[in-house]
Amino acid sequence: MIDISNTKHWLIEQAEKFNSSPAVLINNSTINYSELCESVSNLALHFVSKGIIENDNIAVLCGNNIEFVKTVNALWLIGAVPVPINTRNNFDEIGFQLKHANIKFLLIEKSLAEKFSQISFEKKIIINRVEQSTDKFHSSTQNSKLETRNSFHSTFYTRHSALILFTSGSSGKPKAVVHTFSSLYESVLLTDDLCKLNTKDVWLASLPLYHIGGFMIFVRALLSGAALAFPGSLNYENISTALQKYNPTYVSIVSTTLKQFLDNRINPNENLKHLFLGGGPLDEELCSSAIAKGFPIVKVYGSTETCSMISALYTEDFENKPNSAGKPLGKTKIKILDKNNRELTGRVGEIIVQSKSLFKGYYNDDEETKKKFVNGFYCTGDLGSIDNEGFLFVQSRKTEIIISGGENISTKEVEDAIKSCESVIDAFVFGIEDETWGEAVYAVAASNKNINERIILEHLRNKIASYKIPKKIFLLEKIPHTDLGKVKKEELLKLLNLNVH
């Protein structure tokens, strides 16, 4: 069970209560809560010396490692707001996000400095591992260390913005989702309701920390006084090795990784309590095979706006409800509305959610924030239904999002990038079920001039991140549309000889 007062900075409180308990497991080292807190305090003082102050929005370009955890905690001590940036984004995408979120400083992990050296930003700070591990800004006395910790206490209050995360939307431009310390805390309570968390748990950092699914792994470990274990990287080989090396109790993965587990005959580790599975459409046969092999699969549903999981399907419910996203966690309320905002029972409509874990709003976009709420419920943009036993079934996304390998990809963003290619007059992007990635990105481009797929692909490499680039681009003279301008998808797929459900 979660036992934290939530009245002071989380890391400081946990360091006082669990000073010698493992906080981070990495390579062959264990870092306890006291050691982590001291290192974070040093880093916070370093950031202050560089000019970072309370309420600054600070972009963080960092890999899945302890530097990310230290950096976010250090910013929290100052009262600044971390804005994790997807390290797979290209320079144009990052540039938009830096401007939109009113970023004051850009923090770049030293190992990524060369990769992002072309980003033009006035105030950059390179996160140096050496700086984080020294007592350069500290007196060596215990009293001085305690004074340094206490100097940050006053900046903590639960309604303070704690996180800004960018997510793809139907508009094609990512939205900046703002979470408070309160919404992060409430999200952990929902997980606690599901798992009954304790200090002996080990959480594997098995998803990107710049996505809400990965970020909340770190927050759950911190708030429960548990250990966070880092695999060498997020590839299948390192995650499977980490299962045996760290013997984690909780692991979150996408279906791509689960399939690799089964294909390579990986067995669940002994202490594994739950294997959380999310990130898009899930194959019923894949889940059933994994359960038969002993993996304690818990299928979860949530989004950046809901602060990760808000409903869950337990392993024991798979046999009767294999296609369900489970039931709401804790006191979360989920309803289904029709287009006139009338509640539906047993029929498909838009999924709406009421929860204390909901986001504060979209940064710098009050109009879009207002559109997303109806009587205190967040309108997810997803279509689904609830059966007479209270199980949620997610049918599809109302907004055109393709989820490939756990990454959200806006079809409109990719379409706009294709249309910006000279001689392309129209484009349509869609997802096709894929064994490896869950969904793969495909596209159709229309042109009345001499153009080929290679030219468009070369153009896209300078426009969007590599994971958003279509696996295949079909070329047509004209894409069929309705009188209202909507693409006739079924007719188009027939033209392409594709059978897509």
Q: What is the pLDDT of residue 150?
A: 56
Locate tokens 């910006």: which residue? 420
pLDDT band at 149; cut points 50, 70, 90: low
pLDDT band at 466; cut points 50, 70, 90: very high
Q: Is 340 strand, coil or helix?
A: coil
Return d(Cα 191, Cα 193) in angstroms, integer: 5
Tokens of 170: 């139907």
Q: What is the mean pLDDT of residues 456-464?
A: 94
Q: What is the mean pLDDT of residues 464-484?
A: 87
User: Which range has the worst mean pLDDT, 155-159, 169-173, 204-208, 214-218?
Assistant: 169-173
pLDDT band at 167; cut points 50, 70, 90: confident
**Burial (CB count <10 Å: 0-12, 13-18, 19+), residue 449:** exposed
Q: What is the mean pLDDT of residues 415-429?
A: 91
pLDDT band at 141; cut points 50, 70, 90: very low
Taking only the tens place, the pLDDT of each residue in 253-269 is 988 889 899 999 999 99
β-pairing, 57-61 vs 81-84, is parallel
Q: Is the predicted pLDDT of residue 137 greater than 80, yes or no?
A: no
| CA angle in degrees (0–180, nearest 5) for 403-409-415 | 130
**Burial (CB count <10 Å: 0-12, 13-18, 19+), residue 253:** buried
pLDDT band at 155; cut points 50, 70, 90: low
Three-class DSSP labels, 246-286: HCCCEEEEEHHHHHHHHHCCCCCCCCCCEEEEECCCCCHHH
Q: What is the pLDDT of residue 481?
A: 77
Locate tokens 């409903």: which residue? 311
pLDDT band at 443; cut points 50, 70, 90: very high
The packing angle between helices 66-78 and 10-17, to 10°, is 110
Q: Is 341 strand, coil or helix?
A: coil
Q: What is the mean pLDDT of residues 421-448?
A: 90
Q: What is the pLDDT of residue 308?
A: 96
Return d(Cα 323, Cα 194) in angstroms, integer: 19
Closest CA to 260 of 290, 301, 282, 230: 290
The packing angle between helices 212-223 and 66-78, to 10°, is 70
β-pairing, 401-404 vs 407-410, is antiparallel
Q: What is the pLDDT of residue 487?
A: 82
Q: Is the predicted pLDDT of residue 166 greater than 80, yes or no?
A: yes
State the DSSP string of 154-177.
Answer: GG--TTSEEEEEEE--TTSSPEEE
Q: What is the pLDDT of residue 284?
A: 86
Return d(Cα 280, Cα 394) in angstroms, integer: 10
Q: Is the predicted pLDDT of residue 279 greater than 60, yes or no?
A: no
Closest CA to 290 of 312, 275, 271, 280: 275
Q: Is the predicted pLDDT of residue 427 greater than 90, yes or no?
A: yes
Taking only the tens place, the pLDDT of each residue in 51-109 is 999 999 999 999 999 999 999 999 999 999 999 999 988 898 899 999 999 999 999 99
Q: What is the pLDDT of residue 134?
A: 41
Q: Is the predicted pLDDT of residue 152 greater than 80, yes or no?
A: no
CB count, 10 Å around CB of 47? Answer: 23
Q: What is the mean pLDDT of residues 273-293?
A: 87
Q: Is the predicted pLDDT of residue 142 greater than 90, yes or no?
A: no
Q: What is the pLDDT of residue 82?
A: 98
| CA angle in degrees (0–180, nearest 5) for 176-156-252 | 55
Listed in sequence order, the residues at least 6 apart from 125 whose beta carbon sits closer than 8 Å to its beta carbon are 47, 50, 105, 106, 107, 108
Q: What is the pLDDT of residue 362?
A: 97
Q: Is the predicted pLDDT of residue 331 greater than 60, yes or no?
A: yes
pLDDT band at 438; cut points 50, 70, 90: confident
Q: What is the mean pLDDT of residues 296-323?
A: 95
- Whether the CB-CB separation of 317 and 387 falls below 8 Å is answered with no
Catalogue the long-range contacts made by 293-301 (C-beta closer than 8 Å, 24 or more residues apart): 293/262, 293/267, 293/268, 294/267, 294/268, 295/258, 295/261, 295/268, 296/268, 296/272, 298/194, 298/274, 298/326, 299/324, 299/325, 299/326, 300/276, 300/325, 300/326, 301/325, 301/326, 301/392, 301/394
- Percentage of residues in the chain having pLDDT higher than 90: 74
Taking only the tens place, the pLDDT of each residue in 488-500 is 888 898 899 886 6
Q: Which residue has the higher pLDDT, 141 or 498?
A: 498
Return d(Cα 473, Cα 450) in angstroms, integer: 15
- Which one-letter amino acid corresponds to residue 323? N
Tokens of 398: 């109302």
Q: What is the pLDDT of residue 229?
A: 98
pTM: 0.84
pLDDT band at 405; cut points 50, 70, 90: confident
Q: What is the pLDDT of residue 445?
A: 96
Taking only the tens place, the pLDDT of each residue in 353-388 is 999 999 999 999 999 999 999 999 999 988 899 999
β-pairing, 373-374 vs 333-337, is unpaired
Q: Is the predicted pLDDT of residue 293 greater than 90, yes or no?
A: yes
Q: What is the mean pLDDT of residues 169-185?
A: 83
Q: What is the pLDDT of residue 139?
A: 38
Q: What is the mean pLDDT of residues 299-319?
A: 96
- Whether the CB-CB separation of 19 and 146 falls below 8 Å is answered with no
Q: What is the mean pLDDT of the chain?
A: 90
Q: Is the predicted pLDDT of residue 283 greater than 50, yes or no?
A: yes
